[in-house]
Structure 1
Amino acid sequence: MSVSFVGAGPGAADLLTLRAARLLAAADLVLYPGTYLDPEILAHCGAETELVDTQDLDLDAITRHLVDGARAGRQVVRLTSGDPSLYSALHEQTRRLDAAGVGWQVTPGVPAYAAAAALVGRELTVPHVAQSVVLTRTRARSSPMGAGEDLLAFAATGATLVLHLAITRTRDLMAELEPVLGADCPVLVVHRASQPEELVLRGTVGTVADLVERSGLRQAAVILLGRALAEDGDGGESFLYSAARERRSPRD
């Protein structure tokens, strides 16, 4: 009696893990986030699988489906967009399953930020430019941020920033960040990476708000910011692969 939380990846049906595809093929009941998920993902399910779109359900209603399905002896999959470790409500759902005495396990997926970076062909960590990545969001119609989680403080570190759930606040955010990052700091906005309607906007802190507003984007996009994203960036080279690095013989 258990539930499998499965990362659906960024949307493309062939970017699921092999384990995720096997779980979907064997599932009797699949709950999925219709707002963010490409329907092609569900092609991995069997013909008799019951499919429940959760975009209009609250957490308690979702939990009832999970608990009732598991108690009935059905193989239950709860799909999440991207990877369950980020903004998936995994904590809230598993806490409820624990209280109901229902077991669970997690299968990771390709996170949206990784799919976005792959689409634009950028490494988020470039030697001598940025060696850290901050995955965060901003507060609008959402839960409060944790104490000390300040966007400007994150930006001041020079790390590459990845903003989730922030696309509707792009102009305000860029105005806040410009004094720290500079108007010329590269920004990439990626909408539905790997899905048929994927879209990439390339700009700077000073220009990207206009691009977003003209595109009409309102959801399902990540914003990447930082000097590591520059097309003509002149970062250093990794010491790991340097010819000057001492290497041990296989016999050592």
Structure 2
Amino acid sequence: MTVYFIGAGPGAPDLITVRGLKLIQRCPVCLFAGSLVPEAIVAEAPKEAIVKDTAPMHLDEIIEDMRIAHEKGEDVARVHSGDPSIYGAVAEQMRRLQVLKIPYEVVPGVPAFAAAAAALGTELTIPGIAQTIILTRTAMKSSSMPERENLDTLGKSGATLAIHLSVRNIPQIERDLTPHYGADCPVVVAYRVGWPDQMFIRGTLANIRQKVREAKITRTALILVGPAIGAQNFEDSRLYDADFSHILRIGSKGEVDKAKEQEV
């Protein structure tokens, strides 16, 4: 018996991994985060399976269902949205299972920031502009943030920021990041990425607050901030430069540069 923590992806049922879908299709117990996981995904569970929405349940109740399944020798598909490694409240479940000596495995899923970039048709790491992506959030009701991870500190990096669970904190985001990125820095608020009603609000640190207010978005949104978003004026990367040689290709200027070869 194994509990499988499955990342269902951002919303579109066909963005779940093949591995995750096959596990849902065979597990006799399916526990899913109903507010964020599409019904079409859990509809793939066997007809005789126990399928339960955990949104109204607390941690002890969820773990108890896993314990009962363990006693029966029944595998559990524990289905979370996005990828289980990011803001999924998965670690606390794993800790409980370790104490109970119940085996578990993790099946990765498509994270919201990646799905948002794909839908926007953009790359979040642009040569000469930003080569780092920081996944973060701001303090809300659920839990506080470590002081060393405040936006003012992270903003000094100039990296592309993917800010989760924070659409109600846009005034703070504007206040903390404007000194580092400038008021005209591009911002995209991605609402319910991958769902039929997905919406993208484009703006800048100076005007995104008003645009989000007008759209009446108060939850289920990811905020992307940084000059890499939609950038057009940048140099091509060296990877496909005709003059650039690496272990798999000899450039037009001749032999492979050993130092550069090691970088590839």
Q: 1:147 Cα shift?
A: 4.4
Indicate the larger mover: 117-126 or 56-65: 56-65
1:176 is paired with a residue whose SS is helix
1:12/1:40 contact within 8 Å kept: no
2:221 is aligned with 1:235: no
2:6/2:79 contact within 8 Å kept: yes
Determine the C-alpha separation between the residues in 1 that align with 2:200 and 2:237.
28
Query: Cα RMSD over matched residues?
Result: 1.7
Determine the C-alpha separation between the residues in 2 that align with 1:215 and 1:196.
17
**Aligned pairs, how many?**
251
Residue 188 of structure 1 aligns with an amino acid whose one-letter code is V
Q: 1:150 Cα shift?
A: 2.0
Distance 1:102 1:210, change over 3 A: same
- Describe how 1:62-77 pairs up with structure 2 within 5 A: 62-77=62-77
2:198 is aligned with 1:198: yes
2:91 paired residue number: 91
Determine the C-alpha separation between the residues in 1 that align with 2:210 and 2:39.
31
| Structure 1 consecutive aligned stretches of length 4 or more whose deviation exceeds 6 Å | 249-252
Residue 242 of structure 2 aligns with an amino acid whose one-letter code is A
Distance 1:31 1:236, change over 3 A: same
1:128/1:235 contact within 8 Å kept: yes
Residue 236 of structure 1 aligns with an amino acid whose one-letter code is E
Residue 177 of structure 2 aligns with an amino acid whose one-letter code is L
Structure of greater Rg = 2
1:139 paired residue number: 139
1:7/1:109 contact within 8 Å kept: yes
Describe the superposition over 1:90-109 as per-residue Cα deviations: whole angstroms up to 9, x where unpaired. Answer: 21100100101100000000
Q: 1:218 Cα shift?
A: 1.7
Q: 1:183 Cα shift?
A: 1.1
Describe the superposition over 1:24-66 as per-residue Cα deviations: whole angstroms up to 9, x where unpaired. Answer: 0001111111111222222322222211111111111111111
1:99 is paired with a residue whose SS is helix
Q: 1:250 Cα shift?
A: 7.5
Describe the superposition over 1:53-94 as per-residue Cα deviations: whole angstroms up to 9, x where unpaired. Answer: 111111111111112112211121111110011011121100
Identity of aligned residues (%): 38
1:4 paired residue number: 4
2:189/2:223 contact within 8 Å kept: yes
Gaps of 5+ in 1: none
1:125/1:132 contact within 8 Å kept: yes
Gaps of 5+ in 2: 251-255, 257-264
- Describe how 1:117-156 pairs up with structure 2 within 5 A: 117-156=117-156
Residue 166 of structure 1 aligns with an amino acid whose one-letter code is S
2:158/2:180 contact within 8 Å kept: no
2:138/2:166 contact within 8 Å kept: yes
1:25/1:45 contact within 8 Å kept: yes
- Describe how 1:33-182 pairs up with structure 2 within 5 A: 33-182=33-182
Residue 234 of structure 2 aligns with an amino acid whose one-letter code is G
1:229 is paired with a residue whose SS is coil
Determine the C-alpha separation between the residues in 1 that align with 2:126 and 2:14.
28
Residue 103 of structure 2 aligns with an amino acid whose one-letter code is G
Residue 87 of structure 2 aligns with an amino acid whose one-letter code is Y
Residue 183 of structure 2 aligns with an amino acid whose one-letter code is A
2:239 is paired with a residue whose SS is helix
2:262 paired residue number: none
Distance 1:249 1:140, change over 3 A: closer
Q: 1:176 Cα shift?
A: 2.4
